[in-house]
């Protein structure tokens, strides 16, 4: 019985130490960092070193979709995205992601609709030209998956956003010969939270996000 109790206590300690939060770039671990490193099980096959990784702008996609009066599910994206991932390969919970998007680069595939989306009726990009996301924490849910929390700013309004993140690969890039990381992330938001709730609920308030991006290690 005593041995079983000790085992349960150890298991609870391991679960409690699995994650800790970040605030910007300032790290605020719930446990002493040395203890956290010892207790948290390592990720499998990270395969690349720690450091700053910049998104490959030719392979970075931020897309979103919604229902248009139940008649179609438009697929839109942004064409101009900059992102930097500061990776801690030993403890990925420490990693930080920063994303900046040119709001005027929204692309619906239809020129006249793009003009409308840039107007004051929608994104009002003349006044609010930037969309940004800053991670505030990461919780692992598997060896190559986790939940990233952060602050999303659209139209000058900042709201929390949670993304389910999957590590697609982490390995040397076959052509560029530099360490590379591929990730995919999914999440949802309410556009009305950012002053973009026009025509809801006919045009659904909930928007589905899909992000896929490659990052290359800075030299």
The CB density around residue 49, as the number of other CB atoms within 10 Å, is 12
Contacts of residue 155, defined as CB under 8 A and 6 or more positions apart, other chains included, come to 123, 124, 128, 194, 195, 196
- pLDDT, mean over the chain: 85
Is the pLDDT at 8 greater than 60, yes or no?
no
Is the pLDDT at 212 greater than 90, yes or no?
yes
Assign 39 a pLDDT band (cuts: 50, 70, 90).
Answer: very low
- Where is pLDDT greater, at 49 or 25? 49
The domains of the chain, with CATH numbers, are: 1-41 (no CATH), 45-217 (2.40.128.110)
Assign 44 a pLDDT band (cuts: 50, 70, 90).
Answer: low
Assign 46 a pLDDT band (cuts: 50, 70, 90).
Answer: confident
Specify whether the CB–CB gap between 94 and 22 falls below 8 A.
yes
What letter does residue 31 receive in the DSSP assignment?
S
Q: Tell me the per-residue pLDDT of 80-132, one tens digit each, with 9 for 90 and over.
A: 999 999 999 988 899 999 999 999 999 999 999 999 999 999 999 999 999 99
The CB density around residue 106, as the number of other CB atoms within 10 Å, is 22
Q: Output helix, strand, coil percentages for the chain, rounded to the nearest 5.
A: 20, 50, 35
């Amino acid at each position: 019985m005593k041995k079983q109790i000790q085992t349960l206590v150890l298991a609870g300690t391991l679960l409690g130490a699995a994650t800790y939060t970040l605030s910007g770039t300032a790290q605020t671990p719930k446990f002493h960092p040395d203890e956290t490193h010892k207790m948290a099980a390592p990720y499998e096959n990270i395969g690349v070193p720690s450091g700053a990784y910049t998104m490959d702008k030719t392979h970075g996609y931020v897309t979103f979709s919604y229902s248009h009066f139940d008649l179609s599910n438009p697929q839109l994206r942004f064409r101009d995205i900059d992102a930097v991932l500061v990776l801690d390969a030993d403890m990925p919970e420490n990693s930080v992601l920063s994303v900046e998007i040119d709001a005027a680069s929204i692309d619906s595939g239809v020129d006249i609709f793009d003009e409308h989306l840039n107007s004051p009726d929608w994104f009002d990009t003349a006044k609010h030209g930037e969309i940004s996301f800053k991670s505030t924490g990461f919780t692992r849910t598997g060896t190559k998956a986790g939940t990233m929390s952060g602050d999303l700013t659209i139209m000058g309004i900042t709201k929390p956003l949670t993304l389910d993140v999957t590590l697609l690969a982490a390995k040397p890039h076959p052509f560029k010969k530099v360490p590379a990381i591929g990730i995919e992330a999914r999440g949802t938001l309410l556009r009305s939270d950012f002053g973009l709730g026009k025509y809801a609920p006919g045009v659904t308030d909930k928007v589905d996000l899909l992000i896929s991006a490659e990052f290359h290690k800075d030299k």
